[in-house]
Amino acid sequence: MAHIPDGVVSIPVLAAGAAVTLAGCGLGLRRLPPEAVPRVAVLSAVFFVASLVHLPAGVSSVHLILNGLMGITLGVAAFPAILVALLLQAVLFGFGGLVVLGVNVMNMAVPAVLAGALFTVLNRPGDGRRAALAGGVSAAVAVAATALMVALSLALSGQEFLPAAKLLGLTYVPVLVVETVFTAAAVGLVARVRPGLLGGKP
Amino acid sequence: MSARPLLVAGGRGPSLLDRLDPRTRVLAAAAFALAVVLAGGLAAPAGAVAVAVVLAGLARLDARRTLGRMLALEGFMLLALALLPFTTPGVPVAEFAGLPVTAEGLRRAAAIMLKANAVVLATLALAGAMEVVDLGHALARLGAPQRFVVLFLFTVRYIEVLDREYRRLRLAMRARAFRMRAGLHCWRSIGMLFGMLMVTSAERAERIHAAMRLRGFDGRFHIADDRRPGPLDWGFGAAHCLALLALAAVDLA
Amino acid sequence: MSDPLIRLDGVSFAHEDGRPVLDSVDFTLAAGERVALTGPNGAGKTTLLHLMVGLLRPAAGRVVAFGGERRVERDFHEVRAKAGLLFQDSDDQLFCPTVAEDVAFGPLNLGRSRAEAAAIVAATLGRVGLAGFEGRITHRLSGGEKRLVALAAVLAMDPLALLLDEPSNGLDDDARARLLDILDALPQAMVIVSHDRDFLDRLATRRVRMAQGRLIG
């Protein structure tokens, strides 16, 4: 839901996206011990499957972004996990471009890490309802931040995108609503059954 | 269960491109995308679409499915493209709903459409129409960090397994009269389904890690792949580079 | 008679929440034996197998395997090379992208060279009737093929004993018959956890039954 295609974004924005994504992935991979690889990979596979589900919203349907949930469970490892997901989507389904991959990963992963941090602040271990609430809020913040970053990526690429960038937030409202409810439910369940998965320790 | 596999290679059978070293295909896709992004005007992007169509033919991509993928643009991109003819400063050539439409704006929107679709088509042909596992191996041999490649291949390994589990759970929900209808109940139910999937997957990850320990896993992964580029790779690479150079020449002319 | 390959002396085990699983179990596996381990779901059969290879540690009792008592993680490294555990769900066991990489994973970890590992892969796949499967993508295999590849991955480490956790579970008749023939021709000692009566009738040389955390003859 945040795939900018190739040919839109200007060279400085492309460079910034690539740099942030490289740094984030480097950090995420360095903090990923070999024994955690199966868990991060299997969860990434879950998120990949979830991102392909069409959820009905009003008259149309939305694909989830899931970066909030990824940040809550994977922490900084959300960076490489999102790179894997977006690379697969670009190559297999033609979602987004190749050169713009760095920007797209940045726009999803930076909010993911933020949401993960926000969740640890809001969450109270042992309280399932509180966890669900914290998960929902973090997911909403992640989606809003992604919308903002996509808007910025466009606005910084050319004056002519400015009006579109200002209106762009509106197209994210349905995803934000669905994703908040979805994440609250998912986090609420995980908090009750297996709280160790939350908190972003890969 | 009649689930179509998620990770199918896009081609319709053995093609010329399948005889290439996967690394050649990855490098060709990257070079193509870079060249298209850097191109200006309309002629070079149009030429790029032509090159991409040739590549799609070589990869024997399924025409209908590929077209569907190329035309799918997300809401925010439709908005951005639709506004460009009005928001790009320049010579007004027409009027729509009382607002001036500029030639520059139309050209900008057309260039974006051409570039975006050229890259999507070439990427699907070069990198999409091969085994994802080969793509992972190619990335490893092109110098991608081992941890990243291991994460990539591991994720690819379990996507189909989890997709099957998701379908099983959805079927069980349908058997209890659940329907996908917009609303809190639906979004919450699917959220809980995926919460459950996360929990069972974490348990599966523990079993996988146990299986790895049983076979002496010591923190190192071994990635095996020993294909070598042959004359076909050099020939294809040369032709591809010539095509990209021709695009650059069109751009500069 | 020589020493048993694996011996459990008075082994007990409980869940983290304190629920007991095994209560002072004695068990031996001798060379050439094929022991059928039966019992209701939740009786502790899988737990027993996991204790033998050190995936779990007993709360009380001793694990003696391949000539020595095994207590800490390091002790079990040798055990795991000599006792191959076949998981219930092959998707848990096969995590590599291709068949060749998966079967080679164990031998490479045991210090074999790539060339040696490749030879072991070819030979082992031949033994389970999957010659030429090296380049196949694991997630594209059928359930029966996955089970045989998982068996090959275990056999590639050249174990003395096989611990089989519901080996025929989820297989169709053909795949099951194929697996049965292959197992029947193997020289290794085996512990077979199964609910599949015909399967056990054909393979087992001895039977033990578990109920409520205890072994009954």
Cβ contact A165:B79 at 8 Å: no
* CA dihedral for A14, B70, B33, B5, sign (positive or negative): positive
Residues of A in contact with B210 (CB under 8 A): none
Q: Is B210 on the interface with A (CB under 8 A)?
A: no
Nearest-CA distance C206 → chain B (Å): 26
> Both B210 and B232 in a single domain?
no
What local confidence, expressed as pLDDT, does residue B82 receive?
A: 87
Confidence band of C42 (pLDDT split at 50, 70, 90): confident
Cβ-defined contact of B211 to C87 (cutoff 8 Å) = yes
Q: How confident is the model at residue B3 (pLDDT cuts 50, 70, 90)?
A: very low
How far apart are the C-alpha atoms of B123 and C55, rounded to whole Å? 44
Residue A152 tokens read as 């910025």
Is the predicted pLDDT of residue B119 greater than 80, yes or no?
Answer: yes
d(C-alpha B246, C-alpha B252), whole Å = 10
* Burial environment of residue C77 by CB neighbours within 10 A (0 to 12, 13 to 18, 19 or more): middle
- Kindly report the backbone phi and psi dihedral angles of residue B98, in degrees, each rounded to the nearest multiple of 5, phi listed first: 80, 0
Q: Would you place residue B2 in the very low, low, confident or very high pLDDT band (cuts 50, 70, 90)? A: very low
In angstroms, the CA A80 to CA A103 distance is 14
Q: Distance, in angstroms, between A56 CA and closest chain B CA? A: 5
Which H or E run includes B43? helix B43-58
pLDDT at B219 over 90: no
B126 with B193, same domain: the answer is no
Q: How far apart are CA B13 and CA A192, in angstroms?
A: 48
Contact (CB<8Å) C77/B216:
yes
Q: Which residue of C has its CA nearest to B225?
A: C101
- Decide if B9 is inside a domain: no
Q: Are residues B182 and B86 in the same domain?
A: no
Model confidence over C151-202: pLDDT tens digits? 999 999 999 999 999 999 889 999 999 999 999 999 999 999 999 998 999 9
Q: By C-alpha distance, which of A180, A104, A107 is closest to A137? A: A180
CATH of domain A11-197: 1.10.1760.20
Q: How far is C89 from chain B (nearest CA, A)?
A: 9
Q: Which of B79, B115, B190 sits opposite A182 (nearest CB)?
A: B190
CB count within 10 Å of CB B91 equals: 9
Calculate how close chain B gets to C133, using CA atoms only, in Å. Answer: 15
CA distance C125 to A40: 30
pLDDT at A2: 79
Which of A95-99, B12-16, B54-58, C142-146 has the lowest average pLDDT? B12-16
What pLDDT was estimated at residue B27? 96
Query: Given an 8 Å threshold on Cβ–Cβ distance, is A185 in contact with B187?
Result: yes
Q: Based on the domain organization, do B245 and B121 belong to the same domain? A: yes
Question: How many Å apart are CA C160 and CA C32, to the nearest integer?
Answer: 10
Whether residues B119 and B23 fall in one domain: yes
Q: What's residue A24's pLDDT?
A: 97
Residue C16 has pLDDT above 90, yes or no: no
Radius of gyration, alpha carbons of chain B: 23
Give the C-alpha separation, A40 to B22, whole Å.
26
Single pTM value for the model? 0.88
Cβ neighbours of C81 in B, within 8 Å: 216
- The interface pTM score, or ipTM, of the predicted complex is 0.93
Residue B140 and residue B71: Cα distance in Å, rounded? Answer: 32
Quick check: A45 contacting B, CB < 8 Å? yes
Nearest to C104 among B158, B208, B222 (CB): B222
Residue B31: its pLDDT value, please? Answer: 96
Residues of chain A with pLDDT under 70: 1, 201-202
Q: What is the pLDDT of residue C140?
A: 86
Tell me the shortest Cα–Cα distance from A183 to chain B, in angstroms: 6
Task: Provide the percentage of residues in chain A whose pLDDT is more than 90.
Answer: 72
Q: How is A23-65 classified by DSSP, letter by letter?
A: HHHHHHHHT--GGGHHHHHHHHHHHHHHHT-EEEETTEEEE--
Read off the amino acid at residue B19: R
pLDDT, residue B75, reads 75
Residues B109 and B64 occupy one common structural domain:
yes
pLDDT number for residue B227: 73
What long-range pairs does A175-178 form, CB within 8 A, spacing at least 24? A175/A1, A175/A57, A175/A62, A175/A63, A175/A64, A175/A65, A175/A143, A176/A140, A176/A143, A176/A144, A176/A147, A177/A57, A178/A55, A178/A57, A178/A62, A178/A64, A178/B187
Write out residues 52-81 of B within 8 Å (CB-CB) of A.
66, 69-70, 72-77, 79-80
Query: What are the DSSP E strand ranges found in C15-157?
Result: 20-29, 34-38, 60-65, 68-69, 83-86
Q: Which residue in B38, B123, B195 is closest to A94 by CB distance?
A: B123
Count of Cβ atoms closer than 10 Å to residue B209 Cβ: 20
Residue ranges making up the domain that contains B181? 145-214
In what helix (H) or strand (E) does residue A191 lie, and over which residues does it extend?
helix A173-193
Find the range with the poorest average confidence among B5-14, C137-146, C171-180, C207-216. Answer: B5-14
The amino acid at C106: G
Structural contact between residues A187 and A72, judged by C-beta atoms closer than 8 angstroms? yes
Answer with the residue of higher pLDDT: B99 or C26: C26
pLDDT band at B12 (very low <50, low <70, confident <90, very high): low
Angle between helices A101-122 and A78-93 (to 10 degrees): 140
Per-domain residue ranges of chain C:
6-216
Q: What mean pLDDT value characterizes chain B?
A: 87
Across residues B103-122, what is the average pLDDT? 92
Q: At residue B87, what is the residue type? A: T
Provide the pLDDT for residue B11: 62
| A72-120: pLDDT as tens digits | 999 999 999 999 999 999 999 888 899 999 999 999 999 999 999 999 9
Q: Is A167 on the interface with B (CB under 8 A)?
A: yes
Q: Which residue of A has its CA nearest to B170?
A: A53
Q: Are residues B87 and B27 in the same domain?
A: yes
Q: Are residues B30 and B120 in the same domain?
A: yes
| 3-class secondary-structure state, position B60 | coil
Measured between beta carbons, the chain B residues lying within 8 angstroms of A95 are 72
Bridge partners of residue C25, in order along the sequence: C11
- Claim to verify: residue B24 and residue B71 sit in the same structural domain: yes
In the block, tokens 């050209």 appear at B107
Q: Which of these ranges, B71-75, B138-142, C132-136, has the smallest mean pLDDT?
A: B71-75
Domain C6-216 belongs in CATH node 1.20.1640.10: no
Cβ-Cβ contacts under 8 Å between A and B: the total is: 256
Residue B72 pLDDT class (50, 70, 90 cuts): confident
Average pLDDT over residues B52-81: 84
In a domain, B3, yes or no: no
Mean of pLDDT over chain C: 92
Total number of domains in chain B: 2
